[in-house]
Amino acid sequence: MIHSGKRNFFSKNLSLFITLGLFVLLFSSVMVIGPMRSNRFKYIPVFFNLLNDNAYLLIASVGIMFVLITGNIDISVASTLAFSAVLSSFLLRLLWPAWVVIPVVLFIGFSFGAFMGFLIEKFKLQSFIVTLAGLFFLRGMCAVVSKESIPIENEFYRSVAQAKISFGSIRTIGKVNIYLYGFVAIAVVIIALYILRYSKFGRSVYAIGGSEQSARLMGLPVSRVKILVFAISGFCAALGGVLFSFYTLAGYALQNLGLELDAISSAVIGGTMLSGGVGSVVGTAFGVLIQGTIQTIVTLLNLNAWWTKVTIAVLLCIFVILQRVIAMRNDK
């Protein structure tokens, strides 16, 4: 009985374990290659730099994971993120206070996501088509606001961009910096983990992804949940845009082209099934870290940056096939 429970637990989380193992393997490669490139290389700062540099992607990936678990897709997240950064920069240039700009931008992201979810659910439209329209609309709105890069000179933004906690030293483990946006990303992961694991809403998200018809027969608020997951995705993308504006202190219409594919691939590499019903916040977080680690390896080896995309594409195909194999095994 105990052994059967352990087998079921391992089988249920097989994709997550593979993701964790892949991250350990890739990061071990960084630990081997790094000292060969520099005598001052320290792997602990590199790990935290992965968090700092990919905080905005991590938040966007967590948001899109909610949508994927329901069996839908949202390809508008990159445009939402870019529009949030551009609009924030534009409003700050008009001397709007930061404490007004940030809530306005987040509200727009949440509302736009909810609106797309409403169209998808109310008129039974394909989520790909609706969010594709959202992608074009918001990317176009970026150019409407400004075709040029808008620098951010707001003092609050500049202070937040530099806010960090530091520890360690160059002689021991290396100088470690964790920026404020890294802590925000961690908070989002913890909140999302709690929602999906312990809330009725989270259980409804998984139930809808498993079988929407069965969820309706159980009396679950399917329409409301589906609209809310798109709202969450829009909110997370907008929050990612705010963090990205902290990170770059600028807003530009062509920022983060293709980021929606990075977010989707992070979730899939982390164990989220495109067919719905299965997804892990922890796995998605490590999916993002895997992408960051691949980029670090490519940089250390002084390779063409496109090798990052090539490697991620290969991993994505492998994990999609792996998910299919696991699903076929579970159906037996």
Q: Which residue in 64, 108, 62, 113 sits closest to 85, CA to CA? A: 108
Domain annotation for the chain: domains and CATH numbers: 12-331 (1.10.3470)
What is the percent of the chain where pLDDT is above 90?
73
d(Cα 164, Cα 184) in Å, to the nearest integer?
A: 12
Residue type, 4: S
pLDDT reported for residue 101: 97
Q: Return the minimum-mean-pLDDT range out of 1-10, 47-56, 171-180, 285-294.
A: 1-10
DSSP-assigned letters across all residues of 205-236: HHHHHH-HHHHHHTT--HHHHHHHHHHHHHHH
Task: Read off the pLDDT of residues 202-237 as tens digits, 9 standing for 90 and up.
Answer: 999 999 999 999 999 999 999 999 999 999 999 999
Task: Read off the pLDDT of residues 55-94 as tens digits, 9 standing for 90 and up.
Answer: 999 999 999 999 999 999 999 999 999 999 999 999 999 9
